[in-house]
Amino acid sequence: MRMHSVLRTSTKLLMPPIMLFGLYVQFHGDYGPGGGFQAGVIFAVAFILFALIFGPDRARAVAPSWVTTPLCAAGVLLYAGVGLVTMALGGEYLNYNVLAADPHDGQHLGILLVELGVGLTVWAVMVSIFLAFVERGRVETTAPDPESGDAPRD
Amino acid sequence: MEQAIDIVLMAFMAVTAIVMIRLRNLYAVVMLSGIFSLLSASMFVVLDAVDVAFTEAAVGAGISTVLMLGTLALTFREERPRRRRDLTPLAVVLVTGAALIYGTLDMPHFGDPNAPIHHHVAPRYIEDSPVEVGPPNMVTSVLASYRGYDTLGETTVIFTAGVAVMVLLSGVWRRRRRVAPLDPDAGRVSADGEGRPAHTETDP
């Protein structure tokens, strides 16, 4: 892809608006269509586009596996943790009313945190799955294990 | 007018599905499945379900198309021609389709205001969610607050799927696969990495 300057330039131009739109969808889900799931997917699309054009190595430099793999679980834990906090504050599991003095503020905060958890998990899982596909293809095709003697046939 | 749009979209979807069945080039099939998702997303917009349309466009037309292309890069671009014509799948599909159509005969008509689904919890969501929860987008209220348990379950499903794919595609199994004797019919990844099928014919 080193020669495709149009693709490279347009990717660089497109990535910031895509990520900004992902954040907009994430935090504007209360008021318009969207939410954590769609936002996570859109945010992941920016990374996948980057990986397609600039290669998985540079994508892994931006989203290394020690970031994406724990974040897969962190989103679910954040979601479940909000439920535990509401229980500790005396409400039912995932009853956001008790999170703030005013039930409306509590609901708002709870929905924000829960959607953030969904977005984190979806983003991390999508990026991980895509990079797992790409990296497996590279290992199998370009770097055969010399010990196994199973060089690629032609 | 809306009916005309519905008919046109349905016709496009039917044509896309039929072409997908008939094509052997999997690259084109993946592209057509993305188009199919985009058409169904337009269908959801016509039905005023913008949140669902948004998800369908982002996931169905976007991510899954890219993931399918990633799969094609690891496997083959052409579907192998079938050796013989098997009528069992056709029979299964016909029986299932007939059962589903028979099932819909009892259902209330599309858009019927007296349908049970419009009298169960939907009025509560519409009338009380601005007071009880607050956000102007009721879909968010329902998904994140009223049905918070379901969304937690869905997020867990995504997490589990991600973990499963990472386990399957990571290096844990690779060494064992290489040692195992290769089935001559099994597909091998091509050496050029372009997704072209490797030659699988065994030499005479």
Query: pLDDT (tens digit, 9 = 90+) per residue, A42-86?
Result: 999 999 999 988 888 898 998 898 999 999 999 999 999 999 999
Find the residue in B nearest to A80 (Cα).
Answer: B152
Q: What is the mean pLDDT of residues A127-144?
A: 74
B53 CB neighbours in chain A (<8 A) are: 33
Q: How confident is the model at residue A145 (pLDDT cuts 50, 70, 90)?
A: very low
Check if A107 contacts B (Cβ < 8 Å).
yes
Is B74 close to A133, i.e. CB distance below 8 A?
yes
Concatenating the DSSP letter of every residue in chain B gives: -HHHHHHHHHHHHHHHHHHHHH--BHHHHHHHHHHHHHHHHHHHHHTT-HHHHHHIIIIIIIIHHHHHHHHHHHS-SBPPPPSS---HHHHHHHHHHHHHHHHHTTSPPTT-TTSGGGTTTHHHHHHHHHHHT--S-HHHIIIIIITHHHHHHHHHHHHHHHHHHHHHHSGGGHHHHHHSPPPTTS----SSSSSPPPP-PPP-
> What pLDDT is recorded for position B44?
93
Asked if A73 reaches chain B (Cβ–Cβ under 8 Å), the answer is: yes
Q: What pLDDT, on a 0 to 100 scale, did the predictor assign at position B171?
A: 60
Over range B56-73, report the average pLDDT. Answer: 88
Q: How confident is the model at residue A142 (pLDDT cuts 50, 70, 90)?
A: low
Residue of B nearest to A65 (CA): B166
Q: How confident is the model at residue B62 (pLDDT cuts 50, 70, 90)?
A: confident
* Residue pairs between chains A and B whose CB atoms are closer than 8 Å: 167
Residues 78-97 of A with CB under 8 A from B: 79-80, 83, 93-94, 96
- Residue A132 · residue B66 · CB < 8 Å: no
Q: Which residue shows structure tokens 């679910």?
A: A76
Q: Given CB atoms, is A116 within the 8 Å cutoff of chain B?
A: no
CA distance to partner chain A, nearest, from residue B15 (Å) = 28
Q: Indicate if the pLDDT at residue B188 is higher than 60.
A: no
Mean pLDDT, chain A, whole residue set = 85
- Mean per-residue pLDDT for A26-44? 89
Quick one: what percent of chain B has pLDDT higher than 70? Answer: 83
Residues above pLDDT 70, as percent of chain A: 88
Q: How far is B136 from chain A (nearest CA, A)?
A: 5
pLDDT at B161: 92
Of the two residues A42 and B79, the one the predictor is more confident about is A42
Contact between B56 and B83 (Cβ < 8 Å): no
Q: Could B148 and A118 be called an inter-chain contact, meaning their C-beta atoms sit closer than 8 Å?
A: no
**Interface contact B135-A140, CB threshold 8 A:** no
- Cβ contact B62–A114 (<8 Å): no
The pLDDT, as a whole number, for residue A140 is 57
Task: State the complex-level ipTM.
Answer: 0.84
Res A1: pLDDT: 57
Could you say which residues from 126 to 165 on chain B have a Cβ atom under 8 Å away from some Cβ of chain A? 132-137, 139-141, 143-145, 148-149, 151-152, 154-156, 158-159, 161-163, 165
Q: A34 — contact with chain B (CB < 8 Å)? A: yes
pLDDT at B204 > cutoff 50: no
Domain covering B1-80, topology: Four Helix Bundle (Hemerythrin (Met), subunit A) (1.20.120)
> What integer pLDDT is reported at residue A29 of this predicted model?
83
Single pTM value for the model: 0.80
Q: How many CB atoms lie within 10 A of CB B35?
A: 17
Which chain A residue has its CA at the smallest distance from B62's CA? A45
Q: Which residues of A touch B158 (CB under 8 A)?
A: 121-122, 125
Mean pLDDT of B113-122: 83
Mutate to test the interface with B, among A122, A127, A131, A150 (most CBs of B within 10 A): A122
How far is Cα of residue A56 from the mean position of the Cα atoms in its chain?
16
The Cα of A137 is separated from the nearest Cα of chain B by a number of Å equal to 6
